[in-house]
């Protein structure tokens, strides 16, 4: 146990969490209908879905519930699954594409319902704006708004031109416009995943922390070996995402762990907060290495982005991220940075999540590679896994599984450098374009 970090990252979320429930380490041998590996949004919500369907579940987490990206992300609950899902029509057909588009909307509603039905306190606030870095991107928002209307999107959307954006969205002059969406929003992610874990436990899920899965022994009954015990289960769920490592090599090469970083300022006054982001929206731009930011409940600016594919974190996250923040908000030059942290997100080659079952071992299920849309998509994939394991089939999972996924070339040693080189080319093209 001592080889693992004992607590959550030293983030604003860990410092402000309402409660971080502790769970025991696995000791001894257990049996269950399903063993879930991973205590983030994927694993916790899959456990909820299964327990609600009457199955017995053991959940193993190598560190703390929400230790990874689920407990330290930007906290933006935004509609959408993957990037440009229309391009997958040759694999899933027109109806499949429409299902994916609707899932991008319905997944946010699923989170809304879970929070509301179970009274999970996580600072949920509605309102989000996509920000255009160029006039061409703003023009694309017109089509996006029309597409949402065609899908029957019931929440208010509104285009905001560059002449209005400072007054209504964000007090800066670097954007070419925006698309406000009141059906997306922001929240405290660590409070959410911890609240969901308490819900899972109340449903009978046996949760164990500091219990890394060391080995999987496949068979009609899967066995998961930990340091001080073993779990035997008819089905196994791998919900480790960027932290799968080499536990299951058939999946680990299909997701690249990429670093993303956030800083949190000291609290600002109500007047300054209203000046920065008048409607308290979550905000995200369209760059390849995008910026995302929002205000916390206690009026801190949480500013994140700078996705790193090299495998090396900045030596000083605050020094690295502060210039990016000041490019948007130069008026914050004298504001103190109170928190700085980073974490790994799971990136796939086509920026589309992977959910399915292993062909070689059909009682092993997985979901991973959310590529920046993890808060909503994890919940949707958990729903599909619950359906598939309980009923033996999930039409939605079949649609997701219809999209092929490549393995990153180069093996464990070269995956990150090769992708970093490719992303440098895209960023260079963006700067020159």
**pLDDT tens column, 256-281:** 888 999 999 999 999 999 999 999 99
Q: What's the confidence (pLDDT) of residue 281?
A: 98
Distance between CA atoms of 158 and 114, rounded to whole angstroms? Answer: 27
Q: What's the confidence (pLDDT) of residue 410?
A: 60
Stretches in the chain below the pLDDT threshold 50: 1-5, 421-433
- Enumerate the domain spans of the chain: 12-72+190-254+350-402, 125-186+256-347+411-433
Q: What's the confidence (pLDDT) of residue 399?
A: 96
Q: What's the confidence (pLDDT) of residue 288?
A: 74
Q: What's the confidence (pLDDT) of residue 162?
A: 94
Distance between CA atoms of 180 and 156, rounded to whole angstroms? Answer: 8
Q: What's the confidence (pLDDT) of residue 92?
A: 96
The CATH code of domain 125-186+256-347+411-433 reads 3.30.9.10
**pLDDT tens column, 27-44:** 999 999 999 999 999 999
- Whether the Cβ atoms of residue 367 and residue 378 lie closer than 8 Å to each other: yes
Q: If we measure between CA atoms, which residue out of 190, 183, 185 comes closest to residue 41?
A: 190
User: Considering the entire predicted model, what is its pTM?
Assistant: 0.93
- Return the DSSP state at 401: H
Count of CA atoms in the C-beta half-sphere (13 A) of 186: 21
CATH 3.50.50.60 applies to domain 12-72+190-254+350-402: yes
Query: Between the CA of residue 280 and those of 141, 336, 370, what are the distances in Å?
Result: 21, 20, 26
Count of CA atoms in the C-beta half-sphere (13 A) of 46: 36
Core vs surface per residue 310-320: b (16+ CB within 10 A) or e: ebeeeeebbeb
């Amino acid at each position: 146990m001592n080889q693992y970090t004992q607590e959550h990252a030293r983030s604003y979320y860990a410092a402000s969490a309402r409660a971080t429930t502790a769970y025991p380490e696995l000791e001894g041998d257990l049996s269950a209908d399903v063993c879930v590996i991973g205590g983030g949004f994927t694993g916790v919500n899959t456990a909820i879905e299964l327990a609600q369907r009457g199955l017995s579940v053991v959940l193993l987490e190598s560190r703390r519930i929400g230790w990874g990206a689920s407990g330290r992300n930007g906290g933006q609950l935004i509609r959408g699954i993957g990037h440009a899902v229309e391009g997958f029509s040759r694999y899933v057909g027109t109806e499949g594409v429409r299902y994916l588009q609707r899932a991008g909307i319905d997944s946010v509603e699923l989170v809304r319902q879970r929070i509301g039905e179970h009274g999970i306190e996580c600072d949920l606030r509605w309102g989000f704006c996509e920000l255009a870095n160029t006039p061409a991107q703003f023009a694309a928002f017109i089509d996006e708004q029309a597409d949402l209307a065609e899908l029957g999107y019931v929440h208010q959307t509104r285009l905001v031109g560059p002449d209005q954006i400072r007054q209504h969205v964000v007090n800066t002059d670097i954007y070419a416009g925006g698309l406000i969406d009141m059906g997306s929003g922001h929240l405290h992610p660590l409070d959410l995943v911890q609240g969901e874990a308490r819900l899972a436990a109340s449903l009978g899920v046996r949760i164990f922390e500091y219990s890394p899965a060391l080995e999987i022994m496949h068979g009609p009954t899967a066995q998961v070996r930990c340091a001080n015990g073993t779990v035997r289960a008819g089905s196994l769920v791998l919900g480790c995402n960027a932290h799968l490592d080499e536990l299951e090599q058939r999946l680990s090469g299909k997701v690249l762990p990429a670093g993303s970083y956030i800083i949190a300022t000291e609290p600002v006054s109500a007047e300054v907060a209203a000046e920065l982001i008048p409607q308290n929206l979550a905000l995200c731009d369209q760059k390849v290495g995008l910026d995302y930011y929002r205000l916390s409940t206690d009026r801190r600016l949480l500013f994140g982005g700078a996705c790193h594919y090299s495998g090396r974190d900045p030596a000083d996250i605050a020094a690295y991220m502060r210039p990016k923040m000041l490019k948007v908000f130069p008026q914050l030059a004298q504001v103190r940075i109170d928190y700085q942290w980073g974490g790994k997100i799971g990136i796939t080659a086509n920026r589309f999540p992977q959910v399915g079952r292993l062909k070689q071992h059909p009682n092993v299920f997985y979901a991973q590679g959310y590529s920046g849309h993890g808060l909503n998509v994890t919940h949707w994939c958990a729903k599909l896994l619950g359906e598939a394991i309980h009923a033996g089939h999930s039409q939605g999972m079949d649609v997701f599984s219809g999209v092929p996924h490549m393995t990153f070339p180069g093996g464990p040693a070269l995956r990150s450098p090769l992708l970093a080189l490719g992303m440098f080319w895209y960023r260079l093209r963006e700067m020159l374009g």
